[in-house]
Structure 1
Amino acid sequence: MTLQWTVVAFILYAEIGTVLILLLPWVRPSIWKKFFNSRFVARVKSFSKIYSYAVITVLLLLFFDATREVRKYADADNAVDTRRLAEADAIVHMRLFRAQRNLYISGFALLLFLVINRIVGLLYRSAHLEAAAEAAMKQAEGASKAAKTLMESESSAPKDDGEKKDLQKKLEKAMKDRDAMKAQAENLQEEYDRVCDKLNKLESSGGDKKGD
């Protein structure tokens, strides 16, 4: 394996490790949000954007080059003369195998780059929804306690009735907000699970192709 494809392979391995770490089930999205907003990540982001675009451009060029090589040696293999020497035939198949290997490596490196960006976006959204759901729950609990205290009081003044109605309205609004946040969180979790399942299927299919 040449130097450039060795570097691409290491990039692919690093992306696989990053995806596995991001998919750890016991790490909450809020923790990832704090990590992404940390000073260290902010410093890395300040100069990593240009390098990431450069890496993507190089990966695209290598992917197209690998595609061209696969077509080249596949056509050469189809046009093989049956009287050709076995040694020359083995060389063509070896080059075709290398071209296919390079195609898989560069293709999966590009795919995992997009998957990582998608997972990070989902983690951000999940963290925001989690914080909003917690705030709505606290608001609902506070309104519920206030309403319960008011209902247990023996006072029946019109002023208290007005406050009671106001608190009941706030309680109903808080409960609706909580239910909406819960539904959004469930939808986000389903989307997150779908992306994870799709990634696992792609990695499994990639492993099968490399094994072939």
Structure 2
Amino acid sequence: MTLYYSLTFLLLVFEMAVFMALIVPLPFTIKRKLFAFISESPIVAKLQYGLKITFIFILILFIDSVNRVFRVQQELSAFSKEGNGIGAAHLGTDRMEVQARKFYSQRNMYLCGFTLFLSLILNRTYTMILEVLRLEDRVKLLEGDKRAGGKDSARVAEAGSLGEIGRLKKELEAKDRDIETLKKQAEGLSSEYYKLGDQVSGNKGDKNEKKGQ
């Protein structure tokens, strides 16, 4: 195995270890602090940036390995179509050599493919865990847990739901405008009610005065 495929294998093992660490059940407080550290650490940010560049090279290796598998498959098809012009021993040796190259090409293709696929799973798992932490913290706040909503919670919420916060702020502003509109309508209705009450009471007073006369 060449050096870059060996490094790809090590990266695959590292991704498997990270995935196992992500799915290990931990107490809520410890998990929240851990993900707050991950979201704020500059070292982790640099590591993520380097991994993104590495995955681009792995994608290139994956495309190259798929191309090699396709070419080797074509060579095997050509061997199967050849006649008796070539000696059986020589043909068998060449066929074994091509099959060996096919095996290595397929191995490299699977290695790069699983590494890329696991990177997508890790990214999605990390995002889902951040969302779960944010929702758990919101539930604790609604239940009246004063320990919830600390600095770590704010960091996790900021890391996982900046767009959600912006959307909630817009909804809150719209609700405030609706409340102000309802207040104005209620004030208008109450003033109209008092005016009608005054008019009714005034009409009754006029009728009583006429009856008295």
Q: The TM-score by the shorter chain falls in which range? A: 0.5 to 0.7
Report the counterpart of residue 132 of structure 1 in structure 2: 138
Which position in structure 2 is the counterpart of 1:45?
Answer: 44
**Cα distance 1:76–1:39, how it changes in 2: closer, same or farther (>3 A)?**
closer
Report the equivalent of 1:59: 58
Give the drift of 1:98: 0.4
Which residue does 1:152 correspond to in 2?
A: none
Structure 1 window deviating more from structure 2 (83-92 vs 6-15): it is 83-92
Residue 13 of structure 1 aligns with which residue? 13
TM-aligned CA deviation for residue 113 of structure 1? 0.6
Structure 1's unaligned 5+ residue stretches are 140-212
Aligned-pair Cα RMSD in Å: 2.0
Q: What SS does the aligned partner of 1:37 have?
A: helix
- Say if 1:106 and 1:133 are closer, same or farther in 2 by CA, change over 3 A: same
Distance in 1, Cα, partners of 2:133 & 2:113: 30
- Aligned AA (1:73): V
Please give the alpha-carbon distance, in whole angstroms, between the structure 2 residues aligned to 1:79 and 1:46.
50
Is 1:103 aligned to 2:132, yes or no? no
- TM-score, length-scaled by structure 2: 0.60
What are the residue-to-residue correspondences of 1:25-44 with 2, within 5 Å?
26-28=25-27, 30-38=29-37, 42-44=41-43
| CA distance 1:88–1:10, change in 2 (3 Å) | same
CA deviation map 1:34-63 (0-9, x unaligned): 112227961223422431221111111000
Please tell me the residue identity of whatever aligns with 1:6.
Answer: S
Q: Unpaired segments of 5 or more residues in structure 2?
A: 146-213
Q: What are the Cα deviations for residues 181-212 of structure 1, in whole angstroms up to 9, with x where unaligned?
A: xxxxxxxxxxxxxxxxxxxxxxxxxxxxxxxx
Per-residue deviation, residues 66-86 of structure 1 (Å, max 9, x unmatched): 001100101111111365521
Q: Compared with structure 1, are the counterparts of its residues 74 and 47 closer, same or farther at alpha carbon in structure 2 (3 Å cutoff)?
A: same
What is the CA–CA distance in structure 1 between the aligned matches of 2:142 and 2:15, rounded to whole Å? Answer: 36
1:114 aligns with 2:113: no
Q: CA 1:94 to 1:87, structure 2 compared with 1: closer, same or farther past 3 Å?
A: same
Cα separation, 1, equivalents of 2:48 and 2:130: 19
TM-score by length of 1: 0.60
Q: Find the counterpart in structure 1 of residue 73 from structure 2.
A: 74
Match of 2:94 among 62, 68, 88: 88
CA shift, 1:28, in A, is 4.2
Distance 2:28 2:108 in 1: 35
The amino acid that maps onto 1:124 is L
State the percentage of identical aligned residues.
Answer: 23
The equivalences for 1:194-205 within 5 A come to none
SS in 2 for 1:79: helix
Q: Does the Cα contact within 8 Å between 1:63 and 1:107 map onto a contact in 2? A: yes
Distance 1:41 1:99, change over 3 A: farther
Asked whether the equivalents of residues 56 and 110 of structure 1 are also in contact (C-alpha less than 8 Å), the reply is yes
Q: By how many angstroms is 1:128 displaced?
A: 0.6
Q: Which amino acid aligns with 2:134?
A: H
Q: Structure 1, residues 90-149: CA drift from partner, whole Å, max 9, x if none?
A: 11001000000000000010011111111110110000110111111227xxxxxxxxxx
Tell me by how many angstroms 1:88 deviates.
1.1
Q: Number of residue pairs matched? A: 138
Aligned to 2:69, what secondary structure does the other structure show?
helix
Superposition pairs for residues 122-161 of structure 1, below 5 Å? 122-138=128-144
On the 8 A contact 1:74/1:96 being kept in 2, the answer is: yes
